[in-house]
Structure 1
Amino acid sequence: MRRKSNTHIILYIFLFMLIFTGCSTTKNLPAEEVLYTGINDITVQNEDLNAAGKRTLEEVEGAISVAPNNSFFGSPTMRIPFPLGLWIYNGFERYEKGIGKWIFKKFAADPVYLSKVNPDTRVKVASNLLRDYGYFNGKVTYQVDSTKNPRAVKLSYHIDMGRPYYLDSIMYEGFSPRADSLIRATRNERLLHRGDNFDVTKLEAERQRIVDLLRDNGYYYCRNEFITFLADTLMRSGYVNLKIVPRKNIPQEALRRYHIGHTSVYLTGYNGERPTDSLQTRNFTVHYSGKKLGIRYGVLRKRFLYRSGELYSQSRQNYTQEALSRLGVFKYNEMRYTPRTENSDTLDVQVNAMFDLPYDSELELNVTTKSTKQTGPGAIFKLSRKNFRGMGASLNLEMKGSYEWQTSSTVDGESSVMNSYELGAGLSLEFPRLVLPWIRDRVDPFRFPSQTNFKVYVDQVNRARYFKMLSFGGNVSYSFYPRRGMKHTVTPIHLAFNVLQHRTAAFDSIATANPMLFRSLDDQFIPSLTYTFTYDNSWEQKRNRIWWENSITSAGNVTSLIYAAFGQKFSQQDKKLLGNPFAQFLKVSSEMRHLLYLSDKQQLATRVMAGVIWAYGNKTIAPYSEQFYVGGANSIRAFTVRSIGPGRFHPAENSRYSYVDQTGDIKLEANLEYRFRILSKFLGGNLNGAAFLDAGNVWLMRKDEARPNAEFSLNRFFDSIALGTGIGIRYDLSFLILRLDWGIALHVPYDTGKSGYYNIPRFKDGMGIHFAIGYPF
C-alpha cells in the first residue's frame, strides 16, 4: 500500500507540472497588447573602440535593454524556460476572491507588454545619448521580430555610432575680473581638455566645478543655471569649439561676494521644547530651553568651521553641517542665510537643530548548535547614552552571555552532562573627533570625519569539567576619512590579559598530550597595535560596489624592543610583563566584497578573504583569541562556527579534543551569493531569496604531531577546502533584515569513509541552519 501511495503522489506531481507547462503565457492578455519576450539581436555599426566609445555604447545599450518576464539574471536576451509567474497570471487572473485571488496577488508576474517597453521612445532616447556623448551623426533603429506565438514578439536593434566629435578650443569668457581670476587660478583642475571626446556629462561636471569654486569664494547666490555653453561645429569638421560663459541678465546678488555675519543657533528639546533662554558671545548666540544648554558650549562652537567676517564658503557650510551631524546629538540641523539689508554683503546665519532621544538600545538573541553535541541560547544587549555629560560623545555598554548544554553523552565516554557558559561586558566612550593632547585648535586638523574610541572589556569563559578563563583589557583607537569612501583606523594601544583561573585534571591530561594546542590558552599578556585601511565606494551608488579592508597587527614587538634596550635579546623567549609572559606575533588580513546590481530586484554578491598570523620570539603559539576560524552564519554556512579545520584534521566525536573549537594560523575563504526578490510589500516588508556557495578552511603554520595534516601544504590543497551550498530567505523591514539560511555541505576536508568529492556520509549530517540579523557580507 505504501508503494502505491508513493506512486500516486508522483503521478499527481507529474500531472500538476503538465498542467502548468501546458499553460499559455498570452491566453489572457488584453486584445490590443502583445507580449515582449526580450531582445533578439543588437548590431553595432561604426563602433568606436576607445574608452569613451565603450562607455557610450554601454549607456546606449542600457537605454534599450529591457528584461522580459522570467529573464535570466536580469538579462534582456536570456530567459528561464519555466515562466511560472506568467503561468499563474494567465491561470488565476480571472479570480476575484478566495484562494485563487490570493495566489494571483502573491505569485503572479505582470506581463511585460511591447507597449510598456515602448521601443519608439527608447530609440529616441538612445539616439539622444549618442549626441550627448559627441556622436552627432549617430542613430538607433529597431525592428519587431515575430515568434512561434503570434501574440509574442522579440526586438532587434541597430546602433550606428557614426563619427565622434572632439573638443578643439575651450574658452572662458564674460566673467567678472575677480571670478575670472579664480577660474584661471584653478586651470589644472579643469575637467575639459582639448582633444577629448565631446561629452555632455563632462560639460555638466565642469559647470558644477565652476559653481562650487565661486560659492567657495563668497558667491552665495551663484547657481548652475547661471552658466551656459556655446558650441561651434562649423569652424573645423569633426571638432567642437567651446565657450563657457555666464548667462545674460543674471541677478545682481549672484555677482556679489558675501561675508558671514552673526550666527544664531536655536536648539529644540527632544520632546519639542522651544528655546526660552540664550547664551551670547560676540557674534555667536545659542538659544536653548530649560536651565541648561544641553551640550557644552565649547563642543558646539567648535563644530562651526567659520568666523564672523569671513567670506561665505559652501565647503565650510558642508563641513559644519557634517560636524554637527557626527555629534550624534541632533535629530536634524538646517542652516539658513539671510542678507542683513537689501544691498548688504553680509549674511546672518540661523541654525535650527532638534535634540535626539538621549538613549538607544538593541537586543540580539541567538541559538548556537555545535558539532560537539552542544546547544544553547545566547543574547547581546547594547545600551547607548548619547551626548554623555554634554561632551557630544556616546557612552556605550554592551553585555553578552550564552549558555550551552550537551545534548548527547559522548564526551570521554561518560554519561554526565557538560554545561558551559560565557559572560562578557564592554564599556566604550566614543567621540566624533580626534581626542589628542596636542590638538587644541577649534576643530580637528582634518576637515573630514574622524572618531576616537576608548574601550574596556571583561569576558568570562567556563568550560565545565575543563577550565575557566578570564579575559580583560582595553584599547584606544582613532579613525579618520581622508576623503569619502576611504577610512584609516589606528589602534596604538590595545592591552589584553588572558588568565586561566581554573584547570581540571582532565584538562591537564589533554594539555600534556598536546602542548602546542593548549599553550594558546595559557596565561598571557597581549600588548598590540593595529592599522586598518578600508575602501568603500557604495556611496557613489554604482552598479558595481566594492568594499575592501586590509589590516595589520603587531603584538609584543614594542615591549620586546624595551627589553632589548636593557640588554635582553629581541627573540628571547619567556619574557614577562606584569607577571605574565606576553604574546609576540604579526597578523595580516584582507577582505574584499563585491556587489553587482543585475537589476533592482537581483544582485550578485561575492567575498574573498585571507589572513595569516605568525607567532615568534617570546611565544611561538598565537593566542587563541587571535587565531582564525570558519563556519557559522557569516562564513561557510553549511557548518557551525569553528567546526572545520585546521587543514584536513578533524577530531572524532568521542575524542578528548572534540570540545575544543577548531582554529588556525592561516585562513582562506570565498563566498558567492545570488540575491533576488520573491515578494514585494509582504507583511510590511520585502521578502527576498538567496542561493549561495561557500568555500574555505584554516590551517596551522607549524606541524603539530597531535593534529596530523593540520598544517598548510600545497599537497591536496583543493581537497582541504570545505565546500557548501544552500538557499536562504531574507525579510527586509528597511531598518532591519531578518535572515534564515539553510546550508548544505558538499565536501569536507577530512576523511569520512566515503569516496568521491561529495564525501558527506549522510545528507542530514551536512546541513546547517542559521538565523541571523543582516546580510552575511
Structure 2
Amino acid sequence: MKHTLYLLFVGVWMLFLTGCSTTKHLAEGETLYIGMRKTTVDNLDESTMGKKALEEAEAAITVAPNNAVFGSGSMRWHVPVGLWVYNRFQRYEKGLGKWIFNKLASEPVYISTVNPDTRVKVASNLLHDYGFFNGTVTYEVDSTDNPRKARLKYHIDMGHGYKLDSIAYEGFSPRADSLIRATYNERIIRRDDHFDVTKLNEERERLVALFRDNGYYYYRSDFITFLADTLIRSGYVNLKIVPKKSVPPEALRTYYIGHTSVYLTGHNGEQPVDSLKRRNFTVYYAGKKPGIRYGVLRKRFLYRKGELYSQTRQDYTQEALARLGVFKFNEFQYTPRHDGSDTLDIRVNSVFDLPYDSELEFNVTTKSTKQTGPGAIFKLSRKNFRRMGASLNLELKGSYEWQTSSTVDGESSVMNSYELGAALSLNFPRLVLPWVRNRVNPFLYPSETNFKIYVDQVNRARYFKMLSFGGEVSYSFQRSRSVKHTVTPLHLAFNKLQHRTARFDSIAAQNPMLFNSLDDQFIPSVSYTITYDNSYRKKKNRIWWENSVTSAGNVTSLIYAAFGKKFSERDKKFLGTPFAQFLKYSSELRYLHEFNEYHQLAARVMGGVIWAYGNKTIAPYSEQFYVGGANSIRAFTIRSIGPGRFHPAENANYSYVDETGDIKLEANLEYRFRILSNFLGGNLNGAAFLDAGNVWLMRKDEARPGAEFTLNRFFDSIAVGTGIGIRYDLSFLVLRLDWGIALHVPYDTEKSGYYNIPKFKDGMGIHFAIGYPF
C-alpha cells in the first residue's frame, strides 16, 4: 500500500510539473535561450593552427542552455525540471517552497545573458590572434513557435591565415642585445610560422626570463611590445620586437645579491627574538635555537652574495624550501640599498607548518569466498624530525575477516583471519650519499632519500601464520621535469612461516608449486624504476609511463660463487634461510585525452613478468602478480582471477588461497564526464569503463591445469568486465564508487558463449575507494 501511494505521489508530482510553463514567469522583455543551431564555417583551414583557431572561436560562442546534456550548447534534456521548479516556486520566500526552489531550481538562461553581440566580437578577435586577420563571426536569432524562446545561429568566416616573414629585435641595450643573440636558437617564433599571438607572448616571456636571469630584477613583460606590418608581403607579417619608450631606469640596470635575512615564525605565531649570523646570512628565530638547523636551511638558498640576481635561482630556492615540508609559506622581499648601489638585500618571511600530520583510512573487504571484514590504515608523520628537514613516518595497518556462512567445508567454524603491519620510514628531501655535496644543485629537480623498516603478521585461519619483516634504502631524483629515476640499492625481506596446520601440509603435498612460494625465504634485491610524466605541460594528451626492473639474489649468489659455490647451485642459505633468486620486469602506460573540462578519455595498459631460477625456482608470493579489485578489473574482487584458465572450485581444499601468477597483462579504458558542477562544494562526475586482463604461470603446474601462459585460446583466457561509476571531486580529495559487471571469465562455467557468467548477480563487484583508479 505504501509503495503504491509513493508511486501515485510521484506520478501526480510529475504531472503537476509538466503542466508548468518554462516561460510564464520570465522577466519582462526577456527571451529564453534554448541553445544553438549548427554553426556554419566558410574558408575552413585544415591546418593545426586553423583547427586551433576554430576551436577557440567556437568555445567563445558556445553557451549551455538550461538542462543541457553534459554542458552541450545544442543538446538538451527533454525534461526541464530546473526551469519548471523555478517558475512554480519562485514566489515562495520561506518554508518548504523556498527550500525546493533553492535545491532544485535553475535560473533561466536568457538571450541577453548569452550576449551574442559581445561573443561574436570575442570570437572574431580570437581568429585575429591566431593570424586570421580578415576572419569574421556573425550571428542571427532563430525564433521558434513560442515568441519567448529562441536559438542562436552563428556563422564563422575564417578568411585566410597569415605567416611570419622577417623577425627583428631592435632598440635593446648592447648587453641585452648580446643576451638575445646568444640565445637566438632558443627563440619561440621563427620565419614561416603561423602568426599566433600566444607564441608572441611566449617569446616575450622568454626574453623577460632571460633578462631577469641575468640581473635585470625590475624587468617586466609590459616593457616589451610588438610592431607588425602586413603590407610589405601579401599574407605575411613583418615583425619587430622592441622595448617600450617608457621603460623605467631601474629596469635597465643589473643588480647583485647582498645580505640575506630569514625570519622564522613559529606555527603558533611565535615571533623571532634572537638571531644567528654567519657571514652574509642571518637567521632570526623564536626560542632557544632555530626551529630548523642552520646548515639545512642555508643549503636551500641557491645563491651567494655578489652573484647576479637570477629569477631561476630564486624559483629553485623557493621550491627547495617548499620541498622541506616544514613551512606553510615563504615570502621573499628584495630591497635595493639606500646608497644607490646595484645591490639587493633579501628578507625572507617563513612560517612553520604544524609539526604533525595524520591520516586515517577505513575499508571493508568482501571476497568471493564468503569472507568479509573491516580494515584500517593509520599514518602519522613528524615533520622536521630533529630539525633536519626530514619527515619521520609511522604507518599502522590491520584487517580482520570472518566467514559469513554458517559452515565451511561442512564444518561449523568462524574464519578469524587477520593481518597486522607496521612500517617506519625516514624521508629526506635530498640525496643522502657520502660522495654527494649537501648543497642542492639548482639544475636538479626534486630528489629524495627514503630509509624504511617494516614488519607484517599474516594469519590465515586453519592454514598458516606468516611473519614478514625487512627494510630498504631508496633514492629518487630527476634531471628533467618529465623524467624521474628511482634506485633501490638495498632491499632486504625475510618471510618466516611461523605455523602451518595439517590441512596446509596436505594441500602443499597436492600443489607444491603453489605453496612453495610461501616457504621461509630471504629476499635480497635491488631495483631501478624510470617514470615519464608530461602532465605538467597541461596538454590535452597526457602520458605517464613507468618501467621497473628488480633483481633478487644475484649479488648474494656472486658472493657465494667467490667462495666456491656455483652461481646456479641450489639450497644456498643466508642465516639458515634459503634466499630467493629472480628477475622481475613490469611496465605501466597511462594515457589521458581531455576533450574539455567536462569530458576525458583515460586508458591504461600494464604488464609484467617474473622469472625465478637458481636457488629458488618459484617466485615469492609477495612478488607475484594479481588482478581484480578497485584499481584493476573492477568486476572482480582482488586476487580472484587466474592464473590462466584455472579457477579453484568453491569446495576445493585451496579455494581460499589467493590467485596469483608470474605473468600479468591488463588493459583499462574509462570515459569520464561531468554530471553536476559545484555540487555541495565539489564536482559530481560519472564514468563508464571497460577492463580486461589476467595472470599466468611461467611453468606448467599439474595441480592447476590451464594456468601456464600459451597462445592457444589466449583471448578466451582474458577476463573482461565493464561498469559505471561516480566520483565526487573536492579537488583535494576524490571519493569514488564503481559498479563492475563481469562479461567474461577465463575458466569454464558450463555456460556457452562469450558471455559465460552463470548468474548476473554473481558477476558484480562494488568498490568504494579514494582517488582515481589510474
For the criterion TM > 0.5, the same-fold answer is: yes
Aligned partner of 1:312 among 300, 309, 318: 309
SS at match of 2:121: helix
For residues 244-263 of structure 1, the C-alpha deviation after alignment (integer angstroms, 9 at most, x for no partner) is 11111321111111111111
Match of 2:183 among 186, 190, 198: 186
Change (3 A) 1:410 1:655: farther
Q: Provide the residue aligned with 1:62 in structure 2.
A: 59
1:155 CA displacement: 3.0
Q: Which amino acid aligns with 2:338?
A: T
Contact 1:74 1:599 (C-alpha < 8 Å) held by counterparts: no
Q: Residues 533-572 of structure 1: CA distance to partner in whole angstroms, max 9, x if unpaired?
A: 2333443444444433332323233334444555655444
Equivalence map 1:580-595=2 (5 Å): 580-595=577-592
2:454 matched to 1:457?
yes
1:467 counterpart = 2:464: yes
Distance (Å, rounded) in 2 between the aligned partners of 1:370 and 1:538: 36
Cα deviation for residue 527 of structure 1 reads 2.0
Residues 9 and 362 of structure 1, relative CA distance in 2, 3 Å threshold: closer
Q: Compared with structure 1, are the counterparts of its residues 103 and 546 closer, same or farther at alpha carbon in structure 2 (3 Å cutoff)?
A: farther
C-alpha separation in 1, matches of 2:729 and 2:749: 39
**What SS is found at the alignment partner of 1:188?**
helix
Partner of 1:280: 277
> In the alignment, which residue of structure 1 is the partner of 2:133?
136
Find the aligned partners of 2:694 and 2:87 in 1 and give their Cα distance: 48
Residues 1:149 and 1:587: Cα distance change in structure 2 (over 3 Å): farther
What is aligned with 1:414?
A: 411
Distance 2:192 2:732 in 1: 48
The counterpart of 2:647, out of the listed 639, 650, 654, is 650
Cα distance in structure 2, aligned partners of 1:543 and 1:109: 31
Deviation of 1:306 (Å) = 0.6
Distance 1:217 1:45, change over 3 A: same
Quote the Cα distance in structure 1 between the aligned partners of 2:21 and 2:509.
Answer: 73
User: Which whole-Å deviations, capped at 9, do the CAs of 1:472-499 have from their partners, x for residues lacking one?
Assistant: 1111111123233432222222221211
The amino acid across from 2:644 in the alignment is G
Matched, 1:200 2:166: no
Cross-structure match for 1:39: 36
Is the CA contact (8 Å cut-off) linking 1:603 and 1:676 kept in structure 2? no
1:393 aligns with 2:390: yes
Q: Does 1:345 align with 2:357?
A: no
1:182 match: secondary structure? helix
**2:208 paired with 1:211:** yes
Name the residue aligned to 1:774: 771
2:672 is equivalent to residue 667 of structure 1: no
In the TM superposition, what are the counterparts of 1:99-248 in structure 2 within 5 Å? 99-147=96-144, 150-248=147-245
8 Å contact kept, 1:612–1:667: no
Asked whether 1:482 is paired with 2:479, we answer yes
Please give the secondary structure, in 1, of the residue aligned with 2:386: helix
Inter-CA distance 537–36: structure 2 relative to 1 (3 Å threshold): farther
Name the CA distance, whole Å, in 2 between partners of 1:111 and 1:725.
Answer: 38
Whether the 8 Å contact between 1:536 and 1:548 is mirrored in structure 2 is: yes
Equivalent in the alignment of 1:258 = 255
Deviation, structure 1 residue 654: 1.8
Partner of 2:544: 547
| Paired letter, 2:337 | R
Matched, 1:324 2:315: no
Q: Which amino acid aligns with 1:48?
A: D
Over residues 286-316 of structure 1, what are the superposed CA-to-partner deviations in whole Å (9 max), with x where a residue is unaligned?
1111101111111111111111111111111
Quick one: which amino acid aligns to residue 665 of structure 2?
K
User: 1:764: which partner in 2?
Assistant: 761
**1:411, 1:655 within 8 Å by CA — same for their partners in 2?**
no
Structure 2: distance between partners of 1:724 and 1:591:
20
Q: CA deviation at 1:38?
A: 3.1
CA–CA distance in structure 2, aligned partners of residues 345 and 104 of structure 1: 64
Cα contact 2:603–2:667 (8 A) shared by 1: no
How far apart are 1:679 and its partner, in Å?
Answer: 6.4
* Bigger shift: residues 146-155 or 110-119: 146-155
Aligned sequence identity (%)? 76
SS at structure 2 position matched to 1:649: coil
Partner of 2:376: 379
**8 Å Cα contact 1:413/1:654 also seen in 2:** no
Number of paired residues?
A: 773
Which of 652, 676, 679 is 2:674 aligned to? 676
1:672-711 counterparts in 2 under 5 A?
672-678=670-676, 680-682=678-680, 685-711=682-708
Letter in structure 2 aligned against 1:391:
M
Please state how far the C-alpha of 1:194 moved relative to its aligned partner.
1.2
Measure, in 1, the Cα distance between the counterparts of 2:31 and 2:44: 32
Q: Spell out the pairing of 1:405-444 with structure 2 (5 A cutoff).
A: 405-440=402-437, 442-444=439-441
CA deviation after TM superposition for structure 1 residue 448, in Å: 1.8
Q: Provide the rounded CA distance (Å) in 2 between the counterparts of 1:20 and 1:620.
A: 71
Give the corresponding residue for 1:527.
Answer: 524
Shift of 1:604: 4.4
Question: Quick check: 2:303–2:313 contact (8 Å CA) kept in 1?
Answer: yes
Structure 2 CA distance for partners of 1:106 and 1:597, relative to 1, 3 Å: farther
Classify the secondary structure of the residue corresponding to 1:41: coil
Query: How far apart, in 1, do the equivalents of 2:738 and 2:155 lie?
Result: 45
Contact 1:628 1:667 in 2 (8 A): no
Counterpart residue identity of residue 649, structure 1: F
Q: Secondary structure at the match of 2:295?
A: helix
Pick which of 77-86 and 277-286 moved more.
77-86
Show the counterpart of 1:356.
353
SS of the residue corresponding to residue 483 of structure 1 reads: coil
SS for the counterpart of 1:387 is strand
Change (3 A) 1:290 1:18: same
